[in-house]
């Protein structure tokens, strides 16, 4: 068994490796899921917090460093980011511990000169306590809250200054752990009563089936989970299937189904009647497993490329859900690495247009088509829908909460989803 000092060092060394992997293209959640750390909470906090604040932390490093930022080795930069994050944002870790751990870690990955640089910069920072971002306007927000420019431009265009800053602040805090009650087994109130014996739970106010669990430790070991009484899903994602709301005995197509959260929800809404056909270009192992755990049938799964139109499904479905592949920029709170990934919007929107064109052909007259993404950008939502409607005069928009395209955000305790509901006339 490692002593506390050994565990602490081990956590920071693993955090360094995880952040290097993420910098090379890995997904943070997948890296954390692979960890066997004895202090997974601290590991998650350091890695997630460092990524959420990376632009801000790098700004502070540039401001205090005598070495040009581009000349700082990746390992050293990440050690400084982690250390500054802990100093600025985490309570309960003494200053000397942060410096000492950073120095020890630097000794393991670099040379004596780097050790002196890290030690000196951190001590200077702790002496001056200069956390300020000396920038104005847009540049201030992009830096202080470490957000992509396109995302900020959307917020600035659509929200007041106060609401914009509230969303930016919330995006740098921990997201909710939200579950969806399986209505084929019990009501939301019954699940709240059952889980409330061990957990602090409350209703998600955005949806009819969502429940927010404040401290979900070991929730996957509960009988409620094992017996398929709930599914873990963000409330913005839950809302999509609830708004499509297929009637019982309907035939429903989920065109881009993986990993299957919305698919299983549609099956629950159908209440063991009708059928859901789920397509995805990936093999949907997770969907099969969850459908079995949740006790759901009437599901047909096909591995296929939905951008390729199939004539045999022409006007076959009563409802079509197209949760299209996208930039995923609405998930930056949950997946902070998305902030720094290069996005080819031209290629993405081209795929979205093809998928929506096909979705329209698969829908029966009088049927409903849900187009959704986990992006809030107009290029991936309103613009795509408007182009589709220009070409397809037999479709009309249905307002959701009074809007043609309804968008969720962190102030609703949800990720950023865009929801457009269309009817074929």
The answer to whether 386 is a known ligand-binding residue is: no
- For 176-232, give the CATH class: alpha beta
Q: Indicate the pTM of the whole model.
A: 0.94
Q: In this predicted structure, what is the pLDDT of residue 92?
A: 86
Q: In this predicted structure, what is the pLDDT of residue 370?
A: 98
Report the SS3 class of residue 424: strand
The answer to whether 323 is a known ligand-binding residue is: yes
Q: Where does CATH 3.40.50.150 sit in the chain?
A: 233-424
Rounded distance between C-alpha atoms, residue 378 and residue 252, angstroms:
27
The answer to whether 58 is a known ligand-binding residue is: no
52-98 pLDDT, tens digit each: 999 999 999 999 999 999 999 999 999 999 999 999 999 888 999 99
Q: Are 253 and 277 in contact (CB under 8 A)?
A: yes
Q: In this predicted structure, what is the pLDDT of residue 251?
A: 98
> What is the CATH architecture assignment of 1-128?
Orthogonal Bundle (1.10)
Q: In this structure, what token pair is assigned to residue 324? A: 């299209």
Q: Where does CATH 3.30.70.1170 sit in the chain?
A: 176-232
Stretches in the chain below the pLDDT threshold 50: 1-4
List the catalytic residues. Answer: 374
Query: Which residues neighbour 346 within 8 Å (Cβ) at sequence distance 6 or greater?
Result: none
Q: Where does CATH 1.10.940.10 sit in the chain?
A: 1-128
Q: In this predicted structure, what is the pLDDT of residue 3?
A: 42
Q: b/e per residue, 401-416, with b = 16+ CB within 10 A? A: eeebbbbbbbebbbbb
Q: In this predicted structure, what is the pLDDT of residue 38?
A: 85
- For 233-424, give the CATH class: alpha beta
Q: In this predicted structure, what is the pLDDT of residue 4?
A: 47
Q: In this predicted structure, what is the pLDDT of residue 1?
A: 33
Q: Which long-range contacts (CB under 8 A, 24 or more apart) does 325-329 make?
A: 325/256, 325/351, 325/352, 325/355, 326/352, 326/373, 326/374, 326/375, 326/380, 327/375, 327/377, 327/380, 328/374, 328/375, 329/148, 329/150, 329/151, 329/374, 329/375, 329/376, 329/377, 329/416
409-419 pLDDT, tens digit each: 999 999 999 99
């Amino acid at each position: 068994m490692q002593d506390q000092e050994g565990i602490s060092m081990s956590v920071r060394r693993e955090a360094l490796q995880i952040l290097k992997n993420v910098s090379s293209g890995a997904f943070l959640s997948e890296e954390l899921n692979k960890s066997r750390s004895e202090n997974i909470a601290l590991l998650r906090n350091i890695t997630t917090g460092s990524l959420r604040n990376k632009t801000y932390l790098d700004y502070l490093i540039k401001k205090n460093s005598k070495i040009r930022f581009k000349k700082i080795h990746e390992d050293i930069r990440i050690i400084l980011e982690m250390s500054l994050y802990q100093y600025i944002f985490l309570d309960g870790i003494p200053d000397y511990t942060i410096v000492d751990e950073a120095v020890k870690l630097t000794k393991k990955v670099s040379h004596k000169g780097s050790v002196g640089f890290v030690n000196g910069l951190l001590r200077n920072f702790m002496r001056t306590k200069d956390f300020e971002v000396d920038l104005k306007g847009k540049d201030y927000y992009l830096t202080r809250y470490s957000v992509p420019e396109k995302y900020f431009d959307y917020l600035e265009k659509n929200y007041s200054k106060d609401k914009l800053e509230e969303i930016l602040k919330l995006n740098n805090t921990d997201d909710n752990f939200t579950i969806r009650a399986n209505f084929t087994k019990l009501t939301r109130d019954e699940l709240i009563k059952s889980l409330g014996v061990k957990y602090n739970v409350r209703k998600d106010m955005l949806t009819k089936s969502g429940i927010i669990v404040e401290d979900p430790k070991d929730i996957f070991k509960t009988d409620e989970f094992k017996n398929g009484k709930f599914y873990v899903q963000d409330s913005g994602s839950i809302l999509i299937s609830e708004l499509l709301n297929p009637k019982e005995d309907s035939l429903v197509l989920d065109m881009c189904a993986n990993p299957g959260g919305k698919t299983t929800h549609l099956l629950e809404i159908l209440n063991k009647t009708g059928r859901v056909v789920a397509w995805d270009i990936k093999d949907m192992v997770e969907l099969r497993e969850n459908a079995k755990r949740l006790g759901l049938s009437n599901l047909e799964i096909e591995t296929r490329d939905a951008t390729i139109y199939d004539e045999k499904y022409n006007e076959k479905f009563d409802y079509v859900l197209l949760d299209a592949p996208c930039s995923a920029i609405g998930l930056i709170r949950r997946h902070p690495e998305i902030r720094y990934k290069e996005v080819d919007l031209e290629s993405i929107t081209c795929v979205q247009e093809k998928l929506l064109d096909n979705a329209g052909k698969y829908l029966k007259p009088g049927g409903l088509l849900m187009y959704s993404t986990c992006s809030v950008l107009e290029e991936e939502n309103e613009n795509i829908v408007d182009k589709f409607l220009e070409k397809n005069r037999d479709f009309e928009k249905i307002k959701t909460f009074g809007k043609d395209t309804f968008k969720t955000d962190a102030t609703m305790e949800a990720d950023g989803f865009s929801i457009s509901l269309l009817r074929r006339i």
